[in-house]
Amino acid sequence: MLRLRASEIAEAVGGRLVGDDVLVTGSVETDSRLVEAGGLFFAMPGETTDGHRFIDAALERGAALVVAEREVEQDVPHILVPSGVTALQSLAADVIRRVRAANELTVVGITGSNGKTTTKNMLQAALERHGATVSPVKSFNNEVGAPMTMLRIDEGTRYLVLEMGASYEGDIARLTALSHPDIGVVLKVGLAHAGEFGGIETTTRAKTEMVRDLAPEHVAILNRDDERVRGMAAATAARVAWFGTDPGPADDPTGLWADGVDSTLEGTVATVHRGEESWPLRMRILGEHHVMNALAALAVVDVLGLDVAQAIEDVASMPRAERGRMEVLEPGGGITVINDAYNASPDSTAAALRALAHMTRQAGRRSVAVLGEMAELGPHAVEEHDRLGRLVTRLRIERLVVVGAGAKPIHDAAELESSFGQDTTWVATADEAEALLRAELVEGDVVLLKSSNVSGLLALAERIGTR
């Protein structure tokens, strides 16, 4: 965070300063437990609690200034605003403006139904050798999380990488208006958050918002393999660069593409091409679908005029995509656990299942899938879970354990599709799944755990993977 006076912050957020014009030297936080000496605490109402209740805790940790939506009883300089979220966003936009004026700052926005966090991590690994790089912690990509990432930059920041998520149309447009990306990346359009969006066409419009609002001097990097993303080229005034497994027409070779894609339990390989040049890519990250994320990150590097070959080495050196994202755990006893339970959508779950089937078949090992609910699918929930159960059977995954009421259609469909009903089991809780797995797993088993975070399989994967 930049060092700013309380009066400067008040002007940026359109608020009224009460108390001394203190200098803020620490970070901006919405969680009082993370406040540091000299920092700024945003006291905002939340879904389960109210940040105004934690002002005392923030002061005990050294907060110099508070932004609040109502009068503050404590003796501390504070800024009164109508909306804490709006104020947070306004401050983030002001900080980006100040840093751009003081230094060369490149902002990269990444959106898509799947792969944002993995692509962000790959890009962080590739860019940080070229200059100070700020990117989101975990998956901070919404109306609060994205501004919090923006507020971590200072005069020395060279690259700011943002994830842009959305629950509703207009969300990405607002984040784009705050940050004004120089480069916008669209990975994929799928059914993630379909419950809020209402369908794939609405999702497409929402994901288009970022490239639609790019200026002509900016660059839109688009997935040539995805028909809906490919169509976004007509919606942007920016220059378009491509990535994918499709090299594109001979008269439009712009961008990177890959072939020779394969994945084993040791990692994922491909050959990356740009024009007449080619480079081998050997990642420790599992799953052929992660090649697309790597290509997106490398395309940003290429657009920036940086060394693609070096970036490939940086991506190859990553030990994992992220905690809970195709993370390999070896608990001993010849068992391999793949923890992919941080989040799930129909597309990402299907990709993980295909990876499990392919890798175990190559290695001659037994495949075990532990699947929980995919959240936020709204009216599509039963259909999409049913579809996964049938996919498990078609892929010949040898053992299926389904966890939770929301995921039960996976089990029902697999049982109907398969002549081996005993190979699929439904349990109500993660604890029941743990007991079953500990009783059944044997040497040589490869266990994939995949679900949305709400299902509790992330913690289960870590327990099973570290026994």
Measured in residues, the chain has a length of 467
Q: Are 291 and 271 in contact (CB under 8 A)?
A: no
Give CA–CA dist 282/210, Å, rounded: 31
* pTM: predicted TM-score of the whole model, two decimal places: 0.89
Q: Are 139 and 110 in contact (CB under 8 A)?
A: no
Q: 358 in helix, strand or coil?
A: helix
Residue 23 has which token pair? 């200098």
Q: What is the DSSP string of 403-444?
A: ESGGGHHHHHHHHHH-S-GGGEEEESSHHHHHHHHHHH--TT
Q: Are 181 and 207 in contact (CB under 8 A)?
A: no
- 8-state DSSP, 50: B
Binding site members for ATP:
112-118
pLDDT at residue 320 in the model = 81
Q: What is the DSSP string of 235-300?
A: G-SSEEEEEES----TT---SEEEEEEEEETTEEEEEEEETTEEEEEEESS--TTHHHHHHHHHHH
Cα 197 versus chain centre, distance = 18
Q: Are 210 and 186 in contact (CB under 8 A)?
A: yes
Binding site members:
112-118
Counts of helices then strands in the chain (DSSP H, E): 16, 22
Residues 6+ apart with CB under 8 A from 460: 341, 370, 403, 430, 433, 434, 449
pLDDT at residue 48 in the model = 76
Backbone angles phi, psi at 2, to 5 degrees: -65, 155
What CA–CA distances, in Å, run from 439 to 238, 356, 398, 408, 436?
56, 21, 16, 22, 5
Q: 303 in helix, strand or coil?
A: helix
pLDDT at residue 419 in the model = 63
Give CA–CA dist 193/378, Å, rounded: 8
The ranges of the chain with pLDDT < 50 are: 195
Give CA–CA dist 132/156, Å, rounded: 7
Domains and CATH numbers, the chain: 4-86 (3.40.1390.10), 103-316 (3.40.1190.10), 327-465 (3.90.190.20)
Give CA–CA dist 175/171, Å, rounded: 7
pLDDT at residue 254 in the model = 65
Q: Do strands 159-163 and 239-244 pair parallel, antiparallel, or not at all (unpaired)?
A: unpaired
Closest CA to 346 of 313, 390, 305, 303: 390
Neighbour tally for 379: CB within 10 Å: 10
Give CA–CA dist 65/81, Å, rounded: 13
Cα 224 versus chain centre, distance = 20
In SS3 terms, 52-80 reads as HHHHHHHHHCCCCEEEECCCCCCCCCEEE
